[in-house]
Structures are given as C-alpha cells and as structure tokens.
Chain A
C-alpha cells in the first residue's frame, strides 16, 4: 500500500487565478492519477501522470487548463488555471504501483472558486 498526502486540503480562490495542488507519495510509484469529484458525485479521471513522460489527458480535459508535473516517482502537481466557478470541486490524486488496478487515494483538495 501507499500513503498519499495532498496540499492544500482546501482553498478558496478568485475567478481568473490559478492554484497548484501537490501530491506526495510515501513510496516510489509508477503511475499517478488526478481525478475530479463534485460533492456527492462520482470520480472523473482528469489525467494519468507517469514519471518521465507527458501526462495523458482524458476527453474534456486539456493541458492548458490542467497542467501536470511529475518530476519524480513520489511527487506530482496539478494546476487548475484561469479558474471559474465551474472548477469548484474536490481534486483527488491517486497512485498505482505499476498499474491502475490498485489505486491509493489522497484525502483530496476541496477547491471553491468565487
């Protein structure tokens, strides 16, 4: 298993600004994932971030809006750029040891855009 921490745990941001969310894993992992979860809703995959390669984005999500970095095997960041109220959500990162089969999730970052 892996322990995932995220920073910040929550934030309130103004429209038009950007927020970078950090995700730290306590062990080296190959795959990291970023999800968005509206309160009371399902998890929607934003992108998969593998170390040493460009992030792979899901349909409806683009790099200009959600740039991702993956500098090493224990850390990743997701930036939510040029935010609007529609970006208000919970953002979760997860890690998989080599596949998406067993994912370990962080506690999430609750973002509110005003």
Chain B
C-alpha cells in the first residue's frame, strides 16, 4: 500500500529553470507534509514542510503548494542551480511517524 505517491522519479532541468515535483497522499488524517533533500552518501535533510491549514509556503527558492481537497502537494524549486542536484523525498504523516514517497532524482544541468 503506497500511501504517498511521488512523481516524477527523475527530472532534468536547465540551470535557472523551475523544478516541480508532485506528491499525492491517501490518508486524510495526515497533518504534516515535509520535503527532504538527500545528497549521495548523506542522510536526508529537512528542506521545508507545510501543514494542511495553509495552501502555500515559501522559503527562499523553495515553495510548497498544497491542495487539501485533491490530497496533493508539490515542491517548486525556482531558479534551479546545479547545487540543487539531489534526491528529493516528499513525506506525509502525523506526530508519531511519517511515510516517505519514492523519491525524485533531480539533475540541474548548466
């Protein structure tokens, strides 16, 4: 049972472009939706997170858009840079645990 569906699994974006990663969840009890960034050989690092009472959250070049009725949320990376090349995981859950999506490997090319 895949509670959090993430797409695409890989993404190639030109430097300066917008990277968009989408996730969908099934459990309406989820109340926390974080995104994690993972570089090769490292553990995931919390990037940005949103609660279902807001539709958008922005931190620097990273924006989460949240659609509660559609049970979907997405990560937008504006002005993508080669240093953003990493694997991005969406997740959803509550205070006891979160479930991770399959991950999106982002490559930003110069």
Write the residues of chain A forming the contact surface with B, with a CB cutoff of 8 angstroms.
Answer: 4, 33, 40-45, 48, 92, 94, 98-108
Within 8 Å by CB of A42, from B45, B93, B95, B102, lies B102
User: What is the distance, in angstroms, from A24's C-beta to the closest C-beta of chain B?
Assistant: 13
B33-45 interface code vs A (CB 8 A; 1 in, 0 out): 0101000011111
Q: Assuming A101-B34, A101-B49, is B43 touching A4 (CB within 8 A)?
A: yes
Q: Most B CB atoms within 10 A — which of A33, A43, A103, A104?
A: A43
A106 to B41, CA, bound (A): 11
User: What is the distance, in angstroms, from B89's C-beta to the closest C-beta of chain A?
Assistant: 7
Asked if B100 contacts A102 (CB within 8 A), the reply is no
A7 to B41, CA, bound (A): 14
Asked if A45 contacts B42 (CB within 8 A), the reply is no
Asked if B43 contacts A100 (CB within 8 A), the reply is no
Asked if A99 contacts B46 (CB within 8 A), the reply is no
Known: A45-B97, A103-B46, A105-B44. 19 other contacts (CB 8 A): A41-B102, A42-B89, A42-B101, A43-B100, A92-B44, A94-B43, A99-B95, A99-B96, A100-B95, A100-B97, A101-B34, A101-B95, A101-B98, A102-B34, A102-B46, A102-B49, A103-B98, A105-B36, A108-B41
